[in-house]
Amino acid sequence: MKQDEAALRAKIALLSEEAKIDLIIELMARVESLTARVAELEARLGMNSSNSSRPPSSDGYRKPAPKSLREVTGRKPGGQKGHPGKNLRQVPEPDEVVEHSPSRCVCGCCLDAVGVERAERRQVFELPKRPLWVTEHRIASKKCPQCGRMVRAQAPAEAPGPAQYGPRLLAVLVYLRDYQLLPYGRLTALCRDLFGAGVCKRTVETAQTRVHGALAPFEDMLRARLLGENVLHADETGMRVAGKLHWMHSLSSPGLTLYQAHPRRGVEAIEANGVIPAFTGTLVHDCWAAYFQYGAGHALCGTHLLRELQGVQENEGHAWAREMSAVLRAVSKTTDGRDDAPLSPAAADWFAGVYDDILARGRRELPPPRKTPGKRGRPANAKSANLHARLDAHRDAALRCLREPGVPFTNNLAERDIRMVKLRQKTSGCARTLTGAQVFARLRSYISTALKQGRNPLECLVEAVRGQPWTPHAQISSV
């Protein structure tokens, strides 16, 4: 090592003063570039689900310490005071009554002929031993005595052949597959063990296809109803379909949900959906650029902004990000639970002024764009600079909840709806075909909308199997 250092010193000594200066300048530029690269890699390693948009599954086994954006409320865990509890209660009309009478007293007297003075009621809720009920329809034929013609009775619609599953069992198959998200293998095993029914995967797919066809008018009606809403929530997530990356899009309101499976994430998918291009209300989303090409009313999810600001604080240490987080938390508290009561213009203007002041001070903290070694193109901005530019460019969208009472601070409604897509992938895997993904999207739209409107999803699926799907109410203002 010392020999190498001595040789290097001798080599430098032979250089002219001008060459030495050039070498120093070159080395300083390289150190600056490598320092920026190290900072970029450290920031990337410091990103996780708590300070960025990465999903929790990307954290691996080394999950970060919990850093919830929720603040301490001081309330004890569990049900709060005044919360109506739920427990098992007796029903007034049981399905079966079993009498238990004493036959002999302890003194030896027989009690068989003695009347009952008092009866204590105890009820046991149990599944029947044979949950699968088989009904045989005998289609009689008679010979007309006048003309000699054979006349056969009309078979019911649910019995088109010698043996088939009924509408309720088919609805249960769809319920288990598309609401409870069971894989085909576990679903067929459940039917075998609980119902004694040898259901195969093809039977489940046939039931799904049948409901999917019956729900075509429902989906058209759903799009029309969404256009009548004042506020819509949009989100999208990746989904593997036929071995390639596709996208599942969702549009939500408190009473309606529409899913759409599409090969693209941006404008092409939005145009194919047809709702957002014609929507005139406020669209709440996570600042995906394609949404800004439609309409004039946009609102950004405050929770996403808080996560990104937390990442800037942890990885780059900017004071403006900490201040902006405090302001957005205050906005969340101020607008939470106000229902339709508007915030005073003076309060909204005060928040907007503080927001602008923080951005102005933060602009002085931003690092200049840096060239990444080995990459072509323009120098890249740091994540803090990109977030700062986004907060500046979409100021009105970030603060829209202050001036429009119906606009929430977060996009949690869409987050909850789109989460079902990720849960399906975890439990059942990817979709093998685009048609299969589209079937799931339509069926899940029907189920989610039924749940939001307080309907039993199984009963709604039974109606759909029978070709008469349930129709939701026109509008629900709150969940």
pLDDT digits (tens, 9 = 90+) for 207-252: 999 999 999 999 999 999 999 999 999 999 999 999 999 999 999 9
pLDDT number for residue 331: 93
Judge contact between 214 and 438, C-beta under 8 A.
no
Question: For residues 63 and 61, what is the distance between their CA atoms, to the nearest angstrom?
Answer: 6
Average pLDDT over the chain, rounded to an integer: 88
List pLDDT tens digits, range 412-454: 999 999 999 999 998 888 899 999 999 999 999 999 999 999 9
Residue 384 has pLDDT above 80, yes or no: yes
Query: 235 or 7: which carries more pLDDT confidence?
Result: 235
Strands (E), 263-395: 282-285, 297-300
pLDDT number for residue 49: 65
pLDDT number for residue 80: 77
For 309, the token pair is 């600001």
Q: Are strands 141-143 and 150-152 parallel, antiparallel or unpaired?
A: antiparallel
Rg (CA), the chain: 33
User: What is the band of 3 on the pLDDT scale with cuts at 50, 70, 90?
Assistant: low
User: What is the band of 477 on the pLDDT scale with cuts at 50, 70, 90?
Assistant: very low
User: What is the band of 174 on the pLDDT scale with cuts at 50, 70, 90?
Assistant: very high
Angle CA 14–18–20, to nearest 5: 55
Segment among 16-25, 65-74, 142-151 with least mean pLDDT: 65-74
For residue 105, CA distances in Å to 112, 115, 116, 407 come to: 10, 14, 14, 72
Residue 357: partners with Cβ closer than 8 Å, 6 or more residues away:
none
For 366, the token pair is 């931003």
List pLDDT tens digits, range 268-308: 999 999 999 999 999 999 999 999 999 879 999 999 999 99
User: What is the band of 40 on the pLDDT scale with cuts at 50, 70, 90?
Assistant: confident
Residue 307 C-alpha from the chain's centroid: 18
pLDDT number for residue 479: 38
Stretch 28-50: mean pLDDT, rounded?
73
Stretch 333-339: mean pLDDT, rounded?
81
Query: 385 or 39: which carries more pLDDT confidence?
Result: 385
Stretch 28-41: mean pLDDT, rounded?
76
Question: For residues 388 and 363, what is the distance between their CA atoms, to the nearest angstrom?
Answer: 8
Burial (CB < 10 A; 0-12, 13-18, 19+), residue 394, is: middle
pLDDT number for residue 51: 64
Judge contact between 467 and 167, C-beta under 8 A.
no
User: What percentage of the chain exceeds 90 in pLDDT?
Assistant: 62
pLDDT number for residue 339: 67
The one-letter amino acid code at 251 reads L
Phi, psi angles (nearest 5°) of residue 358: -65, -40
User: What percentage of the chain exceeds 70 in pLDDT?
Assistant: 90
Question: For residues 368 and 366, what is the distance between their CA atoms, to the nearest angstrom?
Answer: 7
